[in-house]
Amino acid sequence: MPQKTVPLAVPRPKRLPVDPYIALLLSTVLVAALLPAKGSAATAAQWATNGAVALLFFLYGARLSTREALTGLRHWRLHLTVLAATFAVFPLLGLAARGLVPYVLAPQLYPGFLFLCLLPSTIQSSIAFTSIARGNVAAAICAGSFSSLAGIVLTPLLAAAFIGGGSGISAHALLDIALQLLAPFVAGQLLRGRISGFLTRHRTVLGRVDRGSILLVVYTAFSAGMAEGIWHKVPVPRLAELLLAEALLLALMLGLTSYGARRLGFGRADRITIVFAGSKKSLASGLPMATVLFGSGAGLAVLPLMLFHQMQLMVCAVIAKRWARTAEPGPAPGEEGVAPGGEGAAPGAEGAAPGAEGAAPGGEGAAPGGEGAALVRAAAAPPAAPPPTTT
């Protein structure tokens, strides 16, 4: 009798460490380098970008539940700690990094590095990491929302004060921020009661609008950068030095938020929230703001942010999984009856799961990366071996 042939087991490919949306962002940069918008096409792209950014912040405003955000103020000590880390400690480190110019940081990259330090925290990835590590999910939701709200006002003001006119930031740019970002956000808040049902029913389509808007911003910014010869200004060794400076910045913030939260007497769950919400920066908020504030120089300004964003995801994913193994069994604080990531009761989340398109301002679930979903899926599978020790 003929023997049955047993098919060989083909090993499944490992998941790429690069977030799919980050790959799309990098592909957009490549397209802008090869086929930049010029002349009338550049003008049309800029007008389209302005409209897309206004729509983006309108949707952010329409998704944020003001009532639930105000309810989260009861944990005011934690929120003040996160805000202090985001808008005080980070900027101070950014100013101190001026001493690295020109030895480690290239002079043309320093404004973007400092701008990175002035941005608000993420929302979606902070929630996802906090959930994985068994931290206070509800506090992470509110802390990220408050940071994004404060960033609409504080980031342009800090940029004008610390970066100054040398990068094109002026009173006119601040007015543009008010008209292009703050006004649509307020309009979204005012209309939220009327359109929240529509946003919930069509959150998948609107999520694609979010992500497409960010891609358009990146394309326009780097097209303008190509006209200025951005890649001739930043050789590969300078990029490596930038990565080194950003790795040092991330390590310092992870250490300072962990030490500070412990010294202030926070419990384990709250310390986890402070570390993840206080050590990261929002790509979704930063890209539109850079386009408005820096104009034609936005390509160089967003380069440090794009690199830092991917770095913070990879490092914090390892730390979150490590902390998850040391947590006590049972639901994490603020997670009862809520899917991982806690958005079921989140401001603006509209019942969305991590990475869903109904994310709150800052858009990390609806814009760059959708990293919340990817991280929670990755955490669901137990690691084959303990991760390396991190600091």
Residue 17 pLDDT = 54
- H helices of 279-370, in order, are 283-294, 298-325
Residue 110 pLDDT = 93
Give the mean pLDDT of 250-256: 97
How far is Cα 340 from Cα 141, in angstroms, rounded to an integer? 12
Whether 187 has a pLDDT exceeding 60, the answer reads yes
State how far the alpha carbon of 36 is from the alpha carbons of 30, 212, 229, 235, in Å: 9, 17, 12, 20
Q: Is the whole model's pTM more than 0.75, yes or no?
A: no
Report CA 189 to chain centroid distance, whole Å. Answer: 21
Residue 15 pLDDT = 53
Beta-carbon contacts of 224 under 8 Å, excluding residues fewer than 6 positions away, are: 42, 295, 296, 297, 298, 299
How far is Cα 346 from Cα 264, in angstroms, rounded to an integer? 26
Residue 283 pLDDT = 83
> Using an 8 Å Cβ cutoff, are 106 and 242 in contact?
yes
pLDDT tens digits for 107-133? Answer: 889 999 999 999 999 877 888 889 889
pLDDT tens digits for 2-40? Answer: 555 555 444 454 554 556 767 787 788 888 878 888 888
Residue 345 pLDDT = 35
The DSSP result for 35-71, as a single string, is S---THHHHHHHHHHHHHHHHHHHHHHHH--HHHHHH
Whether 188 has a pLDDT exceeding 80, the answer reads yes
DSSP-assigned letter for residue 75: G
How far is Cα 50 from Cα 291, in angstroms, rounded to an integer? 9
Higher pLDDT, 251 or 374: 251
Give the mean pLDDT of 46-61: 80
Whether 161 has a pLDDT exceeding 60, the answer reads yes
Residue 121 pLDDT = 93
First to last CA, the chain: 62
What are the two backbone dihedrals, phi and then psi, of residue 250, each rounded to the nearest 5 degrees? -65, -45
How far is Cα 372 from Cα 89, in angstroms, rounded to an integer? 25
Beta-carbon contacts of 77 under 8 Å, excluding residues fewer than 6 positions away, are: 264, 266
Higher pLDDT, 133 or 170: 133
> Using an 8 Å Cβ cutoff, are 291 and 233 in contact?
no
How far is Cα 111 from Cα 158, in angstroms, rounded to an integer? 12
CA atoms within a 13 Å half-sphere pointing along the CA-CB vector of 307: 20
Higher pLDDT, 232 or 184: 184
Give the mean pLDDT of 94-114: 92
Whether 341 has a pLDDT exceeding 70, the answer reads no
Which of the four pLDDT bands, split at 50, 70 and 90, describes residue 173? low
Which of the four pLDDT bands, split at 50, 70 and 90, describes residue 97? very high
Give the mean pLDDT of 347-370: 38
How far is Cα 310 from Cα 19, in angstroms, rounded to an integer? 8
How far is Cα 222 from Cα 37, in angstroms, rounded to an integer? 9
Report CA 260 to chain centroid distance, whole Å. Answer: 22
pLDDT tens digits for 281-304? Answer: 988 788 888 887 887 677 788 889
Residue 139 pLDDT = 87
Which of the four pLDDT bands, split at 50, 70 and 90, describes residue 370? very low
Whether 332 has a pLDDT exceeding 70, the answer reads no
How far is Cα 170 from Cα 175, in angstroms, rounded to an integer? 9
Residue whose structure tokens are 């300004």:
301
Residue 206 pLDDT = 76
State how far the alpha carbon of 2 is from the alpha carbons of 5, 6, 9, in Å: 9, 12, 21
Whether 168 has a pLDDT exceeding 70, the answer reads no
Domains in the chain, ordered, with CATH? 23-379 (1.20.1530.20)
Ranked by mean pLDDT, which of 220-234, 257-271, 308-322 comes out on top?
257-271
Mean pLDDT of the residues in the chain: 75
Give the mean pLDDT of 122-150: 85
Higher pLDDT, 176 or 367: 176
Higher pLDDT, 193 or 346: 193
The DSSP result for 215-234, as a single string, is HHHHHHHHHHHHHTTHHHHS
Residue 23 pLDDT = 79
Higher pLDDT, 370 or 147: 147
